[in-house]
Amino acid sequence: MRGRDESGGRPYISNNVVNSTAEYLIQVGVLHGDLNLTLRAPEPEDPRAVAERRLALSLLDQWRAEADAWRMADPAPLPVRWTPSHQVKSAGTSLWTDSGRTLADQFLGLDRRRLVVLGGAGSGKTVLAVLLTLELLARRIEGAYGRGRGRRPDDGADDGADAGADVPLPLLLSLESWDTRRLTLAAWLEERLRSDHPGLPFVDGVHPARLLVRQRRVLPVLDGLDELPEHRRAEVLDALTTGLGADGDAVLVSRTDAYTALYDAGHALPDATVIESLPLRRRDVARYLEQVARRSGREDAWTPLVRALADEPFSKPLADALSNPLMVWLARQAYAHAPADPRELVERAFPDRWAVEAHLLDRIVPAAFPPLPADHGRLHPPRTWDAARARTWLAYLARLMSRRQESELAWWRLSQAPLPRLLALPALIAAGMVASVLIRIVTADYAASSWLGELSVTTPVLGGVVFAFLARMVTDHWFGHRLAEPRRTANPLLFVSALRAVERHSRVGPLARLAVLYGGPALVVFLLALYAFGGRDPVLVLLTVGAVLPGLLMVVYAAPADAVDAATPRELLRGEQSALLTTVTLVAPLIGLGTGGFYALRGGHGLWPGVAAWLGASATLFLLSPSSRWLLAKGTLAPTGRVPWSLMTFLEDARTAGLLQRSGGTYRFRNRRLQDHLAGRSARPAVPPPAGAHRQVPRQVSAGDREMPGGERARAAGDRTDPAADGPQPDGTDTGDGTAHPEGTGDADGTAPPDGTRAPFGRRSPFGRRSPDDSRALRAEHTADHYLLQGRSRRLPMAHWPVIGTLTVMYAVRFSVTGQWQEPEGWAGLLVFPVLGVVVCLVGLLMPSRRLELELTRDGVRGRFGRRRCHYAWPDVTEIAVRRVVVRGRDAHFYALQVRLRQGAPAPGRRHRLDDGWYLVLSLGLTAEVDPQLAAALADFAETRWRGARTG
């Protein structure tokens, strides 16, 4: 309203609409004056920006839910102080969180955005990573929305979009899920984005994972380096350094002692700012607990503890314990509700801080599952969990994860626990027997009326089992053998969308995709045409409808669903159950239809054979699905009290209570300290032995294992700590002058003789533990310029057992579902494959032993195993290490001494070629624990090329 018109009557109104993207403009009232309408077509959004925004929103929702479950900002975050590490060289020098700047500001202000977060157990490292992730995501979303609304620099918009454009997308992951033998860092990040967020908007017709990773738009925030087995840490850290290259950014979270040990051994994240947490100050803890008390309404109960922390002299064990953020959180949770009384922390005398921590850890489970008062007025009262039983269940899961050296709990891997694995084959056979009985009950009248009798039912059931196996094998190979994992399949009502997902998530080559996607339908048309014009052979109908079409349909509907958000464990379970329902209701009926059509066209009654084939196919698809393994795990563990029947509900309630966290489709304990405590692993440091206690005499190291004051390795053969050690020893051990060890010296288990000396090998592997082929008798000759390890070895074949297991499962399903379990020869046939596997092992052991040699000189390394020989010159070798043998992406489950060659070096034959640019020197067995004398010789001759043992 600018004023009135010339007559002084009605007001002068002008409506201006500029740069509008609205489809309709509605004017309410009477318009007096001008209507100025300027429409501009909205600028198209960049597809990559759309994908980034969708991914950021999904990640923000995921980690906000975890932060709410942990109550990170309620009432306020703990004032954890961070400082540049004094033990590890840091590229940054500024203090963190004390400057008034946010975590995102400080991280984005680094010259190199590489951050290593160190601290003790429960010091707040993961919380810092989550808070940094949330801040970066929030800032990235602001920038994405600013760019995505068609704004231009001359529109007068703020600079938030420009500020957000430089913010990468933080992807918080656990290092445990990274198989460095199979995937590089970029490939791992791409795989996680594809599997966790398959529904992101496609860019140029492909999933944006590769584009985002290759353009450095994804910031890996990697937690759990210290939770890896000790032998994997160096390999993972080296792979991370290699994957980041010269300009990659990352955030790495680890305990201080684990990272410091790697740093001292020459493994570190280069050009990284390294920060370390400081203990909480008593007054900061007192102010925090005072806020907690005010919000809980129990100020009287918390006052003695708050006052003791703030004013009074405080007991040292309790003060030391409450300097840890995890312990403060535990105290808050454990005494949040009556009748728990925090005064007992002040009144009780604790001998040390470990007793305080154990007390708080013991109280967290009862506090997480408090008894609720009865409410008889409600039809469905809230579910309650008994605290004692909840602790038993959590303790079992923690022990299971600790034995596997894992920190992630996946429900589909729960069937790999000892009890389900022991009962897997009997349960499979029993379920197949039940299915066969039901099939016989349904088809009893048909079998009685048929002149073939029971064979009229067994034959179509066998056909259904075989066709279901074929469809599953094709699908399994198409998606890279991932049917053992849960599936969120495409919507069966959206066939075109599912067909696109088949192409996007395929793991076969382009020629195979063309052959299946285009050749499959063509084959169906060809077979049907051949049937119509080529004599009407019923076998063509059976192959078309019963074999080819079910295989194609199962491939289509086993494709991952295009869900944007990362799946939760419960969603994965529901998705797998839906996938099973889809295959049983769409794939299995086609098998039955093809079988029934075959019998009908041959002049028989096709209904009941079709029903029998459908039931056989359905039983097969169910018994081989992750859903059946999930039922097996619950059916064996729940009756024995190891887990509750409603396990998924219990795990979700434990997450809501703050004991667990979600990591994609898996669960993790809130802190590794909590997992270790529930698993019965004490965090109390080991007490040193008393003075005068027996100690094993240390092994005399070789010349190459010591360093001179100037830093150069000593090479003289006779340079020993004890001059009298030169020459032959009474027990015949090698002294470095070229004398050989007699065979069989030393204990068989590798323990030292009573006099403290120790034969380096004898009847043991060149590793710390015994090898499965105990026939090895190894001798070592060691001089200043030559090291020779000789022996003979018998072979114990093991590679055939996965095939034997698969064939045994297939036969068990077939003979149980088809009713052959009623025949004695059927049970004998079940033992054929396991017996065959044992025979192969025995034949391998009875074969003549093969010669084994490892020779180290100043010129190079030579290996021999049987007729297989190889030689590598040191100038051509960049690395030498003991690693797992991986060939064509498959783990061979044994270890070998391997080398990596420089670019342009002459490569050995194909038989020595392994994955990731490594080449075989010598196969060594099932363990990677290298004998100290062999390791010393490798360090002496290979110098800096020796990387030790890597069992990742």
Task: Name the average pLDDT for the chain.
Answer: 75
Residue 137 backbone dihedrals phi, psi, to 5 degrees: -65, -45
Assess whether pLDDT exceeds 60 at residue 719: no
Least confident piece of the model among 4-8, 493-497, 566-570:
4-8
More confidently predicted of 582 and 21: 582
- Find the mean pLDDT for residues 685-710: 38
State which amino acid sits at residue 290. Answer: E
Q: DSSP letter for 269, please.
A: -
More confidently predicted of 439 and 1: 439
Check if the beta carbon of residue 212 is closer than 8 Å to that of residue 52: yes
| pLDDT value, residue 739 | 32
- Find the mean pLDDT for residues 121-131: 86
Joined together, the tokens standing for residue 505 give 């998530």
Assess whether pLDDT exceeds 70 at residue 145: no
- Find the mean pLDDT for residues 787-791: 87
Write b or e for each residue in 137-160: b if 16 or more Cβ atoms lie within 10 A of its Cβ, otherwise e: bbbbbbbbbbbbeebeeeeeeeee
The yes/no answer on whether domain 47-277 falls in CATH 3.40.50 is: yes
Q: Which of 376-390, 494-508, 609-623 has the highest mean pLDDT?
A: 609-623
- Find the mean pLDDT for residues 301-320: 79
- Find the mean pLDDT for residues 786-797: 81
**Pseudo-torsion of CA 687, 691, 696, 697, nearest 10°?**
130
| pLDDT value, residue 551 | 83
Assess whether pLDDT exceeds 60 at residue 730: no
The number of C-alpha atoms within 13 Å of 527 and in the hemisphere containing its C-beta is 19
Assess whether pLDDT exceeds 70 at residue 312: no
Q: State the DSSP string of 764-806.
A: S-SBSS--S-TT--BEEEEETTEEEEEEEE-----TTHHHHHH
Check if the beta carbon of residue 67 is closer than 8 Å to that of residue 130: yes
More confidently predicted of 643 and 514: 643
- DSSP three-state, residue 761: coil
Q: State the DSSP string of 105-169.
A: HHHHTSSS-EEEEEESTTSSHHHHHHHHHHHHHHHHHHHHHHHTT---GGGT--THHHHHHT--E
Per-residue CA distances from 612 to 61, 471, 484, 749 (Å):
48, 18, 26, 57
Joined together, the tokens standing for residue 221 give 């925030």
Check if the beta carbon of residue 208 is closer than 8 Å to that of residue 201: yes
Per-residue CA distances from 500 to 486, 521, 524, 525, 697 (Å):
20, 16, 20, 21, 67
Output the CA angle 572-508-203, nearest 5 degrees. Answer: 70
More confidently predicted of 817 and 664: 817
pLDDT tens-digit series, residues 253-282: 999 888 988 888 888 888 888 898 888 888
Identify which of 865, 864, 848 has the alpha carbon closest to the alpha carbon of residue 856. 864
d(CA 685, CA 122): 16
Per-residue CA distances from 637 to 51, 389, 412, 602, 633 (Å):
42, 14, 14, 49, 6
pLDDT tens-digit series, residues 764-784: 444 444 344 434 457 888 888
Assess whether pLDDT exceeds 50 at residue 405: yes
d(CA 846, CA 839): 10
Residue located via tokens 């409506």:
15
Residue 565 backbone dihedrals phi, psi, to 5 degrees: -75, 150
Residue 458: pLDDT band by 50, 70, 90 thresholds?
confident
- Find the mean pLDDT for residues 734-755: 34
Residue 748: pLDDT band by 50, 70, 90 thresholds?
very low
Instruction: Give every CB contact of residue 896 below 8 A, 6+ residues apart in sequence.
Output: 882, 883, 885, 920, 921, 922, 923, 924
- DSSP three-state, residue 910: helix
| pLDDT value, residue 392 | 93
Identify which of 612, 575, 576 has the alpha carbon closest to the alpha carbon of residue 591. 612
Question: What percent of the chain lies above the pLDDT cut of 90?
Answer: 5
- Find the mean pLDDT for residues 754-770: 38
Assess whether pLDDT exceeds 60 at residue 369: yes
| pLDDT value, residue 80 | 84
More confidently predicted of 830 and 23: 830
| pLDDT value, residue 528 | 81
Residue 251: pLDDT band by 50, 70, 90 thresholds?
very high
| pLDDT value, residue 734 | 35
**Pseudo-torsion of CA 179, 180, 183, 187, nearest 10°?**
100
| pLDDT value, residue 394 | 94
Output the CA angle 374-377-383, nearest 5 degrees. Answer: 45
Assess whether pLDDT exceeds 80 at residue 12: no
- DSSP three-state, residue 252: strand
The dihedral built from the CA positions of residue 330, 335, 341 and 343, taken in this order, carries a sign that is positive
| pLDDT value, residue 762 | 37
- Find the mean pLDDT for residues 42-55: 76
pLDDT tens-digit series, residues 75-120: 667 788 888 887 777 776 554 545 557 788 888 888 888 899 998 8
- Find the mean pLDDT for residues 393-418: 88
* Strands 11-12 and 3-4, sheet pairing: antiparallel
Question: What percent of the chain lies above the pLDDT cut of 70?
Answer: 74
More confidently predicted of 257 and 561: 257
Check if the beta carbon of residue 454 is closer than 8 Å to that of residue 447: yes
pLDDT tens-digit series, residues 497-542: 666 666 666 666 677 777 777 777 788 888 888 877 877 788 888 8
Residue 227: pLDDT band by 50, 70, 90 thresholds?
confident
| pLDDT value, residue 155 | 40
The dihedral built from the CA positions of residue 891, 894, 898 and 904, taken in this order, carries a sign that is negative
| pLDDT value, residue 99 | 53
- DSSP three-state, residue 648: helix
| pLDDT value, residue 339 | 82
Residue 693: pLDDT band by 50, 70, 90 thresholds?
very low
Instruction: Give every CB contact of residue 910 below 8 A, 6+ residues apart in sequence.
Output: none
Write b or e for each residue in 846-877: b if 16 or more Cβ atoms lie within 10 A of its Cβ, otherwise e: eeebeebbbbbeeebbbbbbeeeebebebeeb
Helix (H) or strand (E) holding 186: helix 185-196
